[in-house]
């Protein structure tokens, strides 16, 4: 692991982040370099949710010489122990374990809370962190529901905290270059963006109600969500497919590329949203759609779609994920990696920009570690220097809201008319039932 970090720092930090931290001195290990920086120069982090993706994100933060992970916060003691051991191999000392992340928020030494817990915790944890004076790295989506997204935006502003959403492609150099070329007219005016995600997820079966395992604090895991009995097919990943805790594939993976589409089309809120889909592949406990199409129309005469196929991984444009922009003079595709292609109206490839690092789009926990350093250092620069975030909570909320509106259209069985000034649903009481959620007793007061 030490060799991994040394190589990582040499290749990535020297080439990308040297301006931020003064460069890594040749011949020094990451631990030695961290000592040179001194404790006061390193941003101190508490990581909430350290299983799988959370483990990868927290380890990536620990690999930064201008960062130290102080806390491992998880309701699963097994995951926390694994994470602590991972971090101990990277930095000078082991992080402390805290089952309840609020213990870390009480520590004045903590600067940043990483939120990689399930979706129903995203906005509540971010809001509580802002109230405690902490900055936040918030994995996508920004929130479980639109109301919480607005609360998170308001909290960041009220408490003057830096809150960055984890749509990391906003910091990838070739993706930035692609969007810039798009805005400069490489395909003329783009008026349609098609986004997609395809996978071959298996059935989750029918869960059995059982005793909560000794290693899990299930009550705290549920947190602000109304209580349900523990079943053996929920923790750790399958919560994505239950509305009480998750948000389906649309927010799980759609958020990333809908965000790029919104960026490329230069739009904020739509005027009309519709969606069709359902659970078609298996007959099991999975509640959210495994197959879904979302259509979003915008006031600048543009259209965006998202196609999600959780159980059939047939690629689109050669990739399982991506966004294709269609314009007056051609089209541009940004695939899963740090690369893009441009075609003319006769489908001739006119430009191709390739990334130097392979992206493991099938890797659910850590597909793009090296490139994600750029996003992390952007967060650090925003905190230390006041640099603009590539993905602040306001923009993160707008992109999250687009796919949330898609889910609301599907669940309410209606086409939504939207106020393009603020993204609110117009004249639809049935749809507005999904704008916010019900909470476990006492939790709504905590978030107010």
pLDDT of residue 24: 34
Helix (H) or strand (E) holding 179: helix 173-183
pLDDT of residue 291: 98
Report helix, strand or coil for 141: coil
**Each residue's pLDDT expressed in tens, for the chain with a length of 448 residues:** 444 444 443 343 333 333 333 333 333 444 555 555 566 789 999 999 999 999 999 999 999 999 999 999 999 999 999 999 999 999 989 999 999 999 999 999 999 999 999 999 999 999 999 999 999 999 999 999 999 999 999 999 999 999 999 999 999 999 999 999 999 999 999 999 999 999 999 999 999 999 999 999 999 999 999 999 999 999 999 999 999 999 999 999 999 999 999 999 999 999 999 999 999 999 999 999 999 999 999 999 999 999 999 999 999 999 999 999 999 999 999 999 999 999 999 999 999 999 876 555 554 444 577 899 999 999 999 999 999 999 999 999 999 999 999 999 999 999 999 999 999 999 999 999 999 999 999 998 888 8
- Tell me whether the CATH fold assigned to 2-168 matches the one assigned to 170-205+236-373+400-434: no
Local structure of residue 243 (DSSP, 8 states): T
Helix (H) or strand (E) holding 73: strand 67-73
Crossing angle between the packed helical segments 393-412 and 146-158, to the nearest 10 degrees: 160
- Please state the domain extents for the chain: 2-168, 170-205+236-373+400-434
Looking at the domain that runs over 170-205+236-373+400-434, which CATH code has it been given?
Answer: 3.30.360.10
**Residue positions counted in the chain:** 448
pLDDT of residue 357: 64
Strands 96-98 and 67-73: parallel
- The DSSP secondary structure of 369-427, one letter per residue, reads HHHHHHHHHHHHHHHHH-PPPSSBHHHHHHHHHHHHHHHHHHHHTSPEEB-TTT--B-S
* CATH topology assigned to domain 2-168: Rossmann fold (3.40.50)
Local structure of residue 320 (DSSP, 8 states): S
CA pair distance 360, 363, nearest whole angstrom: 5
Q: Around 420, how many Cα atoms within 13 Å sit in the side-chain half-sphere?
A: 12
pLDDT of residue 41: 85
pLDDT of residue 68: 98
pTM listed for this prediction: 0.91
Q: Is 402 exposed, middle or buried (0-12, 13-18, 19+ CB in 10 A)?
A: buried
Strands 135-138 and 112-115: parallel
CA pair distance 424, 432, nearest whole angstrom: 9
pLDDT of residue 26: 37
């Amino acid at each position: 692991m030490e060799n991994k970090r040394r190589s990582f720092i040499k290749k990535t930090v020297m080439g990308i982040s040297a301006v931020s931290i003064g460069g890594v001195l040749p011949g020094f290990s990451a631990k030695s370099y961290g000592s040179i920086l001194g404790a006061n120069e390193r941003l101190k982090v508490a990581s909430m949710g350290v299983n799988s993706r959370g483990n990868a994100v927290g380890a990536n933060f620990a690999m930064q010489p201008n960062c130290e992970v102080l806390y491992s916060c998880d309701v699963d003691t097994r995951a926390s122990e694994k994470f602590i051991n991972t971090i101990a191999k990277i930095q000078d000392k082991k992080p402390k374990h805290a089952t309840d992340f609020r213990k870390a928020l009480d520590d004045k030494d903590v600067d940043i809370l990483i939120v990689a817990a399930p979706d129903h915790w995203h906005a509540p944890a971010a809001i509580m962190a802002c109230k405690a004076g902490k900055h936040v790295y918030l994995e996508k989506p920004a929130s479980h529901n639109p109301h919480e997204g607005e609360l998170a935006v308001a909290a960041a502003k009220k408490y003057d905290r830096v809150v960055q959403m984890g749509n990391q492609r906003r910091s990838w150099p070739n993706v930035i270059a692609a969007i810039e070329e798009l805005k400069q007219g490489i395909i003329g005016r783009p008026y349609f963006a098609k986004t997609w995600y395809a996978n071959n997820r298996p059935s989750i079966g029918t869960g059995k109600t059982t005793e909560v395992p000794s290693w899990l604090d299930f009550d705290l895991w549920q947190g602000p969500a109304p209580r349900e009995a523990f079943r053996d097919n929920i923790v750790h990943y399958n919560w994505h497919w239950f509305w009480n805790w998750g948000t389906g594939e649309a927010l799980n993976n759609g958020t990333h590329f809908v965000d790029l589409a919104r960026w490329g089309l230069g739009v904020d809120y739509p005027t009309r949203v519709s969606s069709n889909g359902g659970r078609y592949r298996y007959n099991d406990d999975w509640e959210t759609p495994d197959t879904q199409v979302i259509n979003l129309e915008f006031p600048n005469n543009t259209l965006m779609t998202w196609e999600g196929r959780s159980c059939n991984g047939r690629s689109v444009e050669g990739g399982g994920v991506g966004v294709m922009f269609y314009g007056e003079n051609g089209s541009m595709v940004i695939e899963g990696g740090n690369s893009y292609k441009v075609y003319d109206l006769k489908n001739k490839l006119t430009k191709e920009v390739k990334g130097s690092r392979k992206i493991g789009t099938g890797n659910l926990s850590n597909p793009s570690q090296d490139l994600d350093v750029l996003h992390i250092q952007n967060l650090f620069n925003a905190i230390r220097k006041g640099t603009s975030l590539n993905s602040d909570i306001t923009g993160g909320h707008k992109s999250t809201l687009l796919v949330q509106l898609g889910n609301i259209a599907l669940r309410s069985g209606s086409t939504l008319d939207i106020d393009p000034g603020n993204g609110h649903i117009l004249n639809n009481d049935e749809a507005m039932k999904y704008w916010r959620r019900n909470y476990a007793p006492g939790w709504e007061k905590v978030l107010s």
